[in-house]
Amino acid sequence: MKYEGWPEQGELVVGKVDEIEDFGVFIDLEEYEDKRGLAHVSEVASGWIKNVRDHVSEGQTVVAKVLDVDESSQQIDLSIKDVNDHQRSDKIQEWKNEQKADKWLSLAFGEDMDDETFGRVANALLSEFGSLYDGFEQAAIHGKEALEPVDLSDDERDRIIETARENVSVPYVTVTGYVQLESPNPSGVDDVRGALEAAEGDGEVPDEIDLDVTYVGSPEYRIRVQAPNYKTAEDELEAAADRAITSIDEAGGTGTFHRDRQTDTE
């Protein structure tokens, strides 16, 4: 989607070179409706410029920094040289992500979605998440919980969540830890089994978390957690280990947690 209004001073914008003159470069802003800016020749590249066309060409996609905005004269002053390689790469990726999210919104509501509905839903996501892409990503990870504060109907939330989970590639991380569980009781096998079931959460683990417990070699068991980020993964790993140890302790056994696999010694 293209934003209405004007970019802000200091903002990085994506644009397409439309016209090249000796005094500078006219750039159509890809993210703003009917907005065009000018990068003076001194803002195209560092150092003395003999020929502007040595640095840019018509139709080229560029990232520029907004130096000044004068709405009364419909003028936007831009700088291409003030954008470093890292900023350029990040901004282009952000812009491409928003283009993807535009398509996902159309997929969620159909190609015949009217402009008013598109704008209302898009603005609701932008207001909460800052970008359409972040809105879809959070919907893919956290589902209804992420969209609860967004001013949308239940049907609209469901459409976005379904589309997000079909299309968004969520970055996941995996962490692993180990518990040693022992019980001296005649029912020791059942005690350990109960502790392992407790570790798995019994329905308490959030949908975005993948947690499994596997046998390594008595009395050791591996807990593996996959989550959207390290903090969440680590928290869930520790919580699973705590549940297992609490369960085995209550049964009269013992339990310990460690990050590396342990080797028994005589």
pLDDT at 140: 87
The reply to whether omega before 219 is within 30° of 0 (cis) is yes
The answer to whether the CB of 66 falls within 8 A of the CB of 60 is: no
d(CA 251, CA 166): 43
Q: Which CATH superfamily is domain 12-82 in?
A: Nucleic acid-binding proteins (2.40.50.140)
Helix segments in 3-150, DSSP class H:
85-109, 115-129, 132-142, 144-147
Q: How far is Cα 94 from Cα 89, in angstroms, rounded to an integer?
A: 9
| d(C-alpha 121, C-alpha 136), whole Å | 12
The H or E element spanning position 39 is: strand 36-40
Q: Which amino acid is at 141?
A: I
Task: Quote the pLDDT of residue 1.
Answer: 65
Q: Which residues are registered as beta bridge partners of 22?
A: none
Going by C-alpha positions, the residue among 129, 172, 165, 173 that lies closest to residue 147 is: 129
Domain positions in the chain are 12-82, 86-167, 173-258
pLDDT tens for each residue of 21-72: 999 999 999 999 999 999 999 999 998 898 999 999 999 999 999 999 999 9
Residues 6+ apart with CB under 8 A from 32: 2, 3, 4, 5, 6, 7, 13
| Separation CA 65–CA 150 (nearest Å) | 31
Helix (H) or strand (E) holding 77, with range, is strand 75-79
Q: Which residues of 103-125 are buried (b: 16+ CB within 10 A; e: fewer)?
A: ebbebbbeeeeeeeeeeebbebb
CATH 1.10.150.190, domain 86-167, yes or no? yes
Question: What integer pLDDT is reported at residue 64 of this predicted model?
Answer: 97
* pLDDT in the model for residue 169: 83
* C-beta atoms surrounding 7 within 10 Å: 20
| Strand arrangement, sheet containing 210-217 | 210-217, 220-227, 173-182, 254-258
pLDDT at 42: 95
CATH superfamily name and code, 173-258: EIF_2_alpha (3.30.70.1130)
Provide the pLDDT confidence category of residue 111 given band limits of 50, 70 and 90.
confident
pLDDT tens for each residue of 224-266: 999 888 888 899 999 999 999 999 999 999 999 998 766 543 3
In this predicted structure, the answer to whether residue 15 has a pLDDT above a threshold of 50 is yes
